[in-house]
Structures are given as C-alpha cells and as structure tokens.
Amino acid sequence: MLELIDISLTLGNFNLGPISLSINPREYLIVIGRTGSGKTTLLKTIVGAYSSKGRVILEDQDITAEPPEKRNIGYVSQSFVSFDHLDVNGNIEFGLRIRDIPKEERVQLAKQIAAELGIEYLLNRSARTLSGGEQQRLSLARALITNPKVLLLDEPLSMLDPETKRTIIRILKAIPARYNVPVIHVTHEWDEAYTLADRIAVMDQGKIIEAGVPEKIFDQPANRHTAKLVGFENIFKGKATSNGSASEVQLENGLRLASSTNYSGPVYACIRPEKIKISNNQGRDDLKGRIEEVFREQSGYRIIISTKNFEITVITKDKLVKGEVVVVTIPKESVHLIPAM
C-alpha cells in the first residue's frame, strides 16, 4: 500500500499540494485533471524525481528521502522511452541486469513477460524501430519485470491511435490482478478514466479536489471543475430553492430550471450536452435559440445554441443546420446541482 501524507512542493510558480492520498493493494487509481493541473508532477514526486515536503510511505516504510533507484516504484513515462542502443530484450531486462540477476534467468523472465504482453516476437528487434503500441508494451514489460511495489503510468494512452489504445486498455486493466501491483494512472481523458478506474482522484491547480468511485465522480461530481472535466459542458451559476423533494433554480442568466436534486442555496447547475433535447415545436420562449455552430462527431452532432440570455451546448443524433431556430428541453433529472461556495 502506498500512502502520501501532506505532500507539497513548489516548482517555479507552480505549487503542488498539500496532497494526502492512499492506494490499496491491486487497486487501479486514476488521477484525472486538465493539462497543467500537476498530475505528472505528482507522479514524479512519488517516484522520487523531486524532493517534497510531507511523507511517502510504501508498505509501511518511509521512502520520502530515498532516491528513485531505491524506491522500487515502476514508472512509465508519457513519452515513449527506450534505451535505443539496446534491443527489446536488452530494454526489458535492464532492471534485472542492475540487480545482477544471472543472464539465463534474465532471458527467461524477459521472454515470459514479453509473451504475456504480446511482444515476444520483438525481442531481438532494435528498440528504436518499434511502433507506438509496441513501445508502450515494452515500457510496461520493462517496468513490471522488476516486480515494483507500485506502478505509475503517465498518460500511457495519449500518443496512441484508437485501435492500439483499445489493445493497451485491455492490458492495463489486467495489470493489478495479474502482477499483484497497484496502479496510479494519470490522464486528462475522462472516458479512459471511466473505463479503467477502480477509483478516481480529480486534480486541479496542484490539489486533489475530489476522489471516489467512477460512477459517483461522473454522475454526481461535487466540484464544478470536476463537472467540467467529466463532461458537464453546460454549467450555470444560480440559486436553488428546495420544494421538499426537488428544487427550482433561478440562474444568473435569467433562466429558471427544475432539478430533481433537493437543495437550497447558491449552486452551479450542471447539465450534460447529451441529456438536452431539441425540438422545432413551440416551447418556452426563454429556451428558444438559434443554432450558431454545428460540429460533426462520432456520436452525432455537437451544436452550439444561442438564446436571448445564454449559450448552451447540445449533442444530438439529429442533423440540424446552422441558423435554424430550435427549442431546447432540459429534463429536471439531468440538472445536477453543486453547492457554490
């Protein structure tokens, strides 16, 4: 088990922490955050690249002052890292060579892990000739062969094409159970996080602002930044008034919305674009607007609608035309309220 206690550090103008976080045996923890939120800095602090305040406890041992080579923490960098003067086998067994493992055993172990990760056929190839997916599997094999106590993955899918990504996701998902190691994986992609995580921690401006199981984070985020990150593209500030079992929200943009969340007080009303419905029929005048932009997407069309007082983003299967006047309907179940502090 890895435990971070009040970790903090300053790098130039950026402040990380204080962060307290723990990861359980064989847990897949995703740290999600926007670019520049401090995810990579957090990983590099755990691995020992930066010295920080606070304590890093790994399996009941305080490793805060230990250099990276003494921590036994596996690390897969965001960029494809290969020791390109070595072949794939040389890369995989690099950590074993340092541990003075006899050559025969090294070869055997490298062959075994390469087979498990589907790169056995590459063992004699030069590392510099590999594709992105092969490089990433090589990085995983090289990190896992030393039996690390924790595996840290820095955006391991960010440089891969969609098909390769799907292959690597299957490999990643199996790692905690197969290699008996907890994984901390950082990303800014919420679908990647949702697919892989046992638990998600959300980072913003160097701090963990929220943590929980994926369903909770994605359906009921407790923080406006989290909501934005996980796909609530429409966020409006307002004041909610409870009516017993639900709420009525008066937004600052003049709009009144119903929400199934029962709350009174200042709020952010958060609405996913795919939950909003569009029609050409008559409806509420304050929800009538003109289509400003239409973007084609894999799941349909992303439409920006401008009403008298606000702009709203909708995802729909219907092919609509720029300039068309439509009416939006916002079901009260899709209006998630977050208390505004």
Partner 1 sequence: MLLVFLGANEIISALEIGSFLGSIEVTFVIATAAAGFAVIVGTPFAYLLARHDFRFKEIVDAIVDLPIMIPHVIVGIMIVLAFASSSGLSPFFQAIGFNVIDTLLGAIIAVIFLSATYPIRIFEGAIRQVDPDVELTARTLGATPQFTFIHVVIPKIWRSVANGAIIAWARAVAEVGALLVVAYYVLFNGSLVSPASIYIYEAYEGLGLAGALKFSAALVVVIFAVFIVYRVILRYARKMKR
List the one residue from 25, 68, 265, 266 that touches partner 1 (CB under 8 A). 68
Our finding on whether 103 is near partner 1 (CB under 8 A) is no
List the one residue from 11, 94, 220, 302 that touches partner 1 (CB under 8 A). 94
Written as six digits, the tokens of 111 are 């062959």
Our finding on whether 158 is near partner 1 (CB under 8 A) is no
Stretch that binds partner 1, among 6-14, 80-88, 179-187, 331-339 (CB under 8 A): 80-88
Residue (145 or 278) nearer to partner 1, CB:
145
In the complex, what is the shortest distance from the CB of residue 230 to partner 1, in angstroms, rounded to a whole number?
Answer: 28
In this structure, the number of other CB atoms found within 10 A of the CB of residue 101 comes to: 17
In the complex, what is the shortest distance from the CB of residue 172 to partner 1, in angstroms, rounded to a whole number?
Answer: 18
Strand pairing category for 2-11 and 14-23: antiparallel
Our finding on whether 73 is near partner 1 (CB under 8 A) is yes
Our finding on whether 84 is near partner 1 (CB under 8 A) is yes
Our finding on whether 213 is near partner 1 (CB under 8 A) is no
Our finding on whether 49 is near partner 1 (CB under 8 A) is yes
Written as six digits, the tokens of 15 are 């402040």
User: What whole-number distance in Å separates Cα of residue 303 and Cα of residue 210?
Assistant: 30
Written as six digits, the tokens of 247 are 């709420």
Q: Write the single-letter amino acid at 330.
A: I
Segment 106-135, which members bind partner 1 (CB under 8 A)?
126
Stretch that binds partner 1, among 10-18, 92-100, 193-201, 277-285 (CB under 8 A): 92-100
Measuring CA to CA, which residue among 119, 125, 121 is closest to residue 144? 119
Our finding on whether 164 is near partner 1 (CB under 8 A) is no
In the complex, what is the shortest distance from the CB of residue 79 to partner 1, in angstroms, rounded to a whole number?
Answer: 6
Q: Write the single-letter amino acid at 106.
A: R
Our finding on whether 329 is near partner 1 (CB under 8 A) is no
Our finding on whether 78 is near partner 1 (CB under 8 A) is yes
List the one residue from 19, 47, 168, 291 that touches partner 1 (CB under 8 A). 47
Residue (43 or 240) nearer to partner 1, CB:
43
Task: Determine the size of the site formed for partner 1 (CB under 8 A).
Answer: 29
198 to each of 103, 191, 274, how far by Cα in Å? 38, 13, 25
Our finding on whether 71 is near partner 1 (CB under 8 A) is yes
Measuring CA to CA, which residue among 82, 97, 196 is closest to residue 139? 82
DSSP state of 333: G
Our finding on whether 44 is near partner 1 (CB under 8 A) is yes
User: What whole-number distance in Å separates Cα of residue 317 and Cα of residue 273?
Assistant: 12
User: What whole-number distance in Å separates Cα of residue 156 and Cα of residue 25?
Assistant: 21
Our finding on whether 81 is near partner 1 (CB under 8 A) is yes
User: What whole-number distance in Å separates Cα of residue 254 and Cα of residue 19?
Assistant: 39
Strand pairing category for 277-279 and 73-76: unpaired
Measuring CA to CA, which residue among 193, 197, 172, 184 is closest to residue 118? 172
List the one residue from 10, 20, 51, 79 that touches partner 1 (CB under 8 A). 79
Our finding on whether 38 is near partner 1 (CB under 8 A) is no
Our finding on whether 98 is near partner 1 (CB under 8 A) is yes
Spell out the alpha helix ranges (H) of the chain.
Answer: 39-47, 88-92, 94-98, 103-116, 132-144, 162-179, 190-196, 214-219, 224-229
Strand pairing category for 256-259 and 325-329: unpaired
List the one residue from 20, 36, 65, 67 that touches partner 1 (CB under 8 A). 67
List the one residue from 143, 183, 230, 255 that touches partner 1 (CB under 8 A). 143
The rounded Cα 87 to chain-centroid distance in angstroms is: 32
Residues that bind partner 1 (CB under 8 A): 44, 47-49, 67-69, 71, 73-79, 81, 83-85, 94-95, 98-99, 126, 139, 142-143, 146, 148
